[in-house]
Amino acid sequence: MKKKGIKVIDLFAGVGGLSLGFKAAGYDVVGAIDIDADCKKTYNLNYPNVNYICEDIRKLNTKDILKTFNVKKVDLIIGGPPCKGFSTIGARSSSKIEIRKKFDERNYLFKDFVRVVNEIKPRVVLFENVSGFMSFNKGKVFELVKSSFQDIGYEIESYLLDAVNFGVPQFRKRVFIVARKKNISEIGPPKKLSTKVKLKQMQTVKEAISDLAGKEKQISNHEPLNHGEKNIRRYKLIPEGGRLPEDKLSPDIYRRNFGNTFKRLDRKAPSLTMVPGHNAFPIHPWLNRSLTVREAARIQTFPDNFIFTGNRQSQCLQVGNAVPVNLAAAWAFHLKRFLI
């Protein structure tokens, strides 16, 4: 007998932060799609009963997608095309104009997202991306995405939300586009994470990771980087909640362009946005090392039984690119009353 419930497909799924949030709200996630082989391994390990297509979405035929996922109808499509080209952290914020203006074909993968939506025709779509997506190319791409959904018969709503307001101990602004069939009333944004969800809600870094200190290598994905002596000396100079005081560095530990990985988190506050750089996350509030993959995953509200595979760089990217589980669950519970 086929499982009943609100059927969901997760596009550009990564390791499934959105999937986990929607599963927590009782949805039937029937399949996921992403091109990243390491993400597929992680997803399959944690969701062994969900089909995952590891392929370039531009090459996929919708009939084959539905056949692989063993469904004829889908109620909801969720996901967000890669955000690297839209992010304000990285190439877009480079001081070199040629890097900022360089064409990034990932910026236009939304066209295949819209194509799949048009061919499957779900009742509702939840499209997620970084806040920089709204201003990229003077807002023209953002408007193009919205008009693309309108052209295939959907009403559009868009919202800028910060994960910190949904039980996530992290400042992380994301834009969401909600596309709905015309017979569905205005949905609006979620206001908070439902108390019905069985996910831990947190406000500070201390709540999220304090119990992990001293348990390094005892929990999956909780292995600290082996920092060099120079970096440890630098870390010792970073105050809690602050960044490296470059003007106070001795010549032997000075260098140019210290990035996000040389900021120390404040245990009493939410975290900075989890963005991996050179295999490392920001500095632990009171230990002289960067966060482990598990600590970053906690801040992204992944449970400890969610295991990340691949090498450390891949694990960092998997965690840093994910939608926080609690934010996904907030949307899932909010959308449910429009889909039942």
Distance (Å, rounded) from C-alpha 261 to C-alpha 277?
A: 7
Are 112 and 106 contacting, i.e. CB atoms less than 8 angstroms apart? no
Neighbours of 251 (CB within 10 A): 5
Distance (Å, rounded) from C-alpha 324 to C-alpha 297?
A: 9
| Among candidate residues 8, 44, 42, the one with its CA nearest the CA of residue 25 | 8
| Among candidate residues 144, 136, 130, 220, the one with its CA nearest the CA of residue 176 | 130
Q: Which of 39, 54, 83, 316 is catalytic?
A: 83
Contacts of 84 (CB under 8 A, 6+ apart): 90, 91, 104, 106
Say whether 83 is catalytic. Answer: yes
**Numbers of helices and strands, H then E, in the chain:** 11, 7
Distance (Å, rounded) from C-alpha 289 to C-alpha 331?
A: 34
| Among candidate residues 117, 115, 113, 91, the one with its CA nearest the CA of residue 104 | 91
Distance (Å, rounded) from C-alpha 317 to C-alpha 278?
A: 10
| Among candidate residues 254, 252, 271, the one with its CA nearest the CA of residue 263 | 271
Alpha helices, H only, 78-131:
97-100, 110-120
In the numeric block, which tokens belong to residue 140?
A: 């023209």
Distance (Å, rounded) from C-alpha 174 to C-alpha 78?
A: 14
* Active-site residue set: 83
